[in-house]
Structure 1
Amino acid sequence: MEILVVDDDQAVRDSLARSLSYTGSEVQTAADGIEALAKLASYTPDAIIMDVMMPRLDGLETTKMLRESGNDVPILILTARDAVDDRVDGLDAGADDYMVKPFALDELLARLRALTRRVKPAAEEESPTLQFADLVLDTQHREVTRAGHHISLTRTEFALLNVFMENPRRVLERNTLLNEVWGFEFPTTANSLEVYIGYLRRKTEINGLPRLIHTVRGIGYVLRETAP
């Protein structure tokens, strides 16, 4: 796995590069967003680890610029323990996941592996287009529309919605969704699923459209026209 580590703290860069190298990954580093963009002009890693607070060009702006340019390399942002706004803003900017400092290397590796296997090649998809009510998901072109309006999704949001679209009206347990989207190694105590359900709802319910992703209390979630 090729990883780009972007952090203005040299000690963090060196520590991550050393630890990831021990696991067999090839690692490049950058001290800020400007340096990262320069490297990415001629280099495509399997994933990017991006700190939020950096001089010159921070992690949020760098992520946003990458997504606006069409670069969909998985991005995992690093935030301080109490920086809730940074996590929300990072997901809004197009990041695929986040981790709070300090973190365990094993969990970081698990999340990186999950990020890099989320999207199956189009050739593996049974059908390029899935539809439920007025919601359409095009797996080949990675596009989503509802009521004819385009919806911009991150890689993780797309993967999660794809699971729902493949299982319409079926109640999906929380652990099932975690395993399908984040992989079996993902810690089931994390709240990432709830965060991404909220983002999907917000994006698919724009302009007052009715809710399609419903909570089944004590079990999980279901994609259906009306609440269970």
Structure 2
Amino acid sequence: MSKITIAIDGFSSTGKSTVAKQIAKYLGYVYVDSGAMYRAVTFFAMQKGLIDNNHFNVEALISRLNEVEISFKFNEALGFAEVYLNGENIEKQIRTLEVSSFVSQVATVSEVRKQLVRQQQKMGQDKGVVMDGRDIGTVVFPDAELKIFMTASAERRAKRRFNELLERGDAVIYDDVLKNVQERDHIDSNRKDSPLLKAEDAIEIDNSNLSLQEQFEKVLQLAKITIEGLK
């Protein structure tokens, strides 16, 4: 069976990672969460005191990017790959609202994007990969055989994110989560380097009113049609 590259882009908290993991598992493909890579760099910057609510030392972060080694290791118990920073599992630490509040700023740094894009392209050079993020179909894999663009209302996405954080045991307020979603949308869509855009040949899916199963089946059907078309 021919293998393809599946690029899934879209706004934050649209379920990109969830459906990407499901599709990769079903097809036996490699799954790469590009957003987690930016979160890892953000977490590194926070650890080193390079970014907080009052400052962001961009030059210092750029000078220390060679200290950032990101990898993914599959966790059989969880059924997906977890993120490691310099050999340390940081999967839980990078999913906090605090990291979310800084990640879009870090992602605007051209040097950060260039380094991570190189790593992402290397991960997908043999195809058979599902990658989600903000610029996968436009920058990382412009020649991907299947491009999906996920969208949903800010309120619906904030509600999903709020529930996820509550289930994790985080103490969060819905209005704070909604504000974070809206701020990230603005930064992601308006940054100069690789802004969040729908690729011309991407298929848009509004999952505001779709269940996880309906979303999965919709994307899987598109993947099967694309693979069948290569025969």
Q: Structure 2-normalised TM-score?
A: 0.32
Larger radius of gyration: 1
Q: Which has the higher helix share?
A: 2
Q: Which has the higher strand share?
A: 1
Higher relative contact order structure (alpha carbons within 8 Å, sequence separation ≥ 6): 2
Q: Structure 1-normalised TM-score?
A: 0.32
